[in-house]
A and B are shown apart, each in its own frame.
Chain A
Amino acid sequence: MLEGTLVDLVPFEDDFAIYLETWMNEEAWFRAHVWERREPHTEDDVKKYIENMEKNERGGLIGFQAKNGDPIGALIFDHEWTRVRKAEVRVVVGDSRYEGADEALDGLLMLVRYCFETRNLHRLDAVALPFHETWIEHLRRAGFVHEGTLRQHIRWDGDYVDLEMFGLLQSEWPGYVQKVAELSLQPSDIEPKPKPEKKEQKEAQPS
């Protein structure tokens, strides 16, 4: 476990894997995966996605949870490019109550911390839909620089919308500790969700 200020980073398993069956079919997932075709994800698709990320040598899927252990969502880095030491980052705020909350921002800061301070990457890329204001605000607060607008790039709900490009260099990152001190993060005191029903129990029930 890697401990942050408002959230902790943990392996993506157990309750996270159960929640992902819901999260992967919700808005937060599709907003964070703009390239993908919006289609239903079955239980098998979700399992396969987690397995693929476990095998992914150029990326990773990390769970992030509130200090009380309540799972919030997924931190993803992918397409890590060894020669240039860059990767793409995205945050899926699976529990929508945390959308825009400082816990979600701390998730992003912890992902940046991990990429720069542990993996020694040189540069991080991120993209945002122009109307996903909470994510853009978090990217800016984390220090990401707006690097361009891919015009009419994404088909979204009947329109072709722009895609905003952001980047952050390792040399621009003051370090997690200093960054958190600048931002004075505030916990949102959201009540933890009830634990999800375990799969095995569900399957054991007579039909």
Chain B
Amino acid sequence: MLCGVLVDLVPVSRQARELDHKWTNNESSFWASGGEWRFVTRAQIAARQARWAEERSRGDLSVGFEIRTKDGQPIGWMGINWLNPTHRLAMLGAKIGEPQYWGGGYGTDALLLIVEYAFDWLDVRKVWLATSTMNARVIRQMEKVGFTLEGRQRQATLAEGVWHDWLAYGMLREEWPGRETLVERLGLREKAVRRG
């Protein structure tokens, strides 16, 4: 649906919904939530998915995509958790549920797709997201893609007994150089070629 270099963003498939149980209970949730370990049953996952579907049918303005590799493997979620039309803000949320795809440019490729979608199709003025100081990979990604660090909520999350800060990153539309420029600058095509 949204075609990237290493991944596509596609409608959530049955296969991805089944993987949600694994992705919710593994370490990807620990990193995405800023330090929470979950023990979630299949029944709870099904109830959560039904609740999200119902919220969307009632006009909730979130947008959710599955991240799918070019060879057809679902690896996580990328979406807009909170779209605010009054302030024209899109708060992004993501998770790569398959740890072997961390650090290979997959998440960055997916991020560029959702930012382009938010600016070019939904006409938002600003995209923003929050992560914790423990998540060095996301912090690096934010810097590479050109987000601005706008705020630091001190001791706003706890991971394994240690307090970490929440960091808020934002990018205004006029700061977005375009997806193609960033694909080039970050060498994503070379990464895709190396992956074969």
Contacts and interface: CB of A to CB of B under 8 A. Distances in A.
Contacts of A167: 153-154, 156
Query: Which of B87, B89, B149, B170 lies at the interface centre, i.e. has the most chain A CB atoms within 10 A of its CB?
Result: B87
Interface of A: 35-37, 83-84, 86, 122-123, 125, 145, 147-155, 160, 165, 167, 169
A153 B151 contact: no
Contact of A169 (B150, B152, B155): B155
A83 B156 CA distance: 10
Contact of B156 (A37, A84, A150, A160): A84
A151 B154 contact: no
A37 B158 contact: no
A152 B172 contact: yes
Contacts of B148: 151
Contact of B150 (A83, A150, A160): A150
Contacts of B84: 35
Contacts of A84: 156-158
A123 B168 CA distance: 17
Give 10 closest A-B pairs by Cβ, nearest first. A148-B151, A165-B151, A37-B86, A155-B87, A150-B150, A148-B150, A167-B153, A147-B151, A154-B87, A84-B157
Given A151-B172, A155-B88, A122 B155 contact: yes
B54 to A, nearest CB: 19
28 contacts: A37-B86, A83-B158, A86-B156, A123-B153, A123-B154, A123-B156, A147-B151, A147-B152, A147-B153, A147-B154, A148-B149, A148-B150, A148-B152, A148-B153, A149-B150, A150-B128, A151-B148, A151-B170, A151-B172, A152-B125, A153-B87, A153-B126, A154-B87, A155-B88, A160-B87, A160-B125, A165-B168, A167-B154
Of the four ranges (under 10, 10 to 19, 20 to 34, 35 or more), the interface on chain B belongs to: 20 to 34
B36 interface: yes
Contacts of A86: 156
A167 B130 CA distance: 16
A153 B124 CA distance: 11
A153 B89 contact: yes
Interface in B136-157: 148-157
A67 B57 CA distance: 49
A152 B151 contact: no
A155 B88 CA distance: 8
A165 B170 CA distance: 14
B165 to A, nearest CB: 9
A155 B153 CA distance: 23
Contacts of A149: 150-151
Contacts of B172: 151-152
Interface in B34-59: 36
A122 B158 CA distance: 11
Contacts of B151: 147-150, 165
Interface in B82-108: 84, 86-89
Nearest to A34: B87
Nearest to B172: A152
A51 B10 CA distance: 40
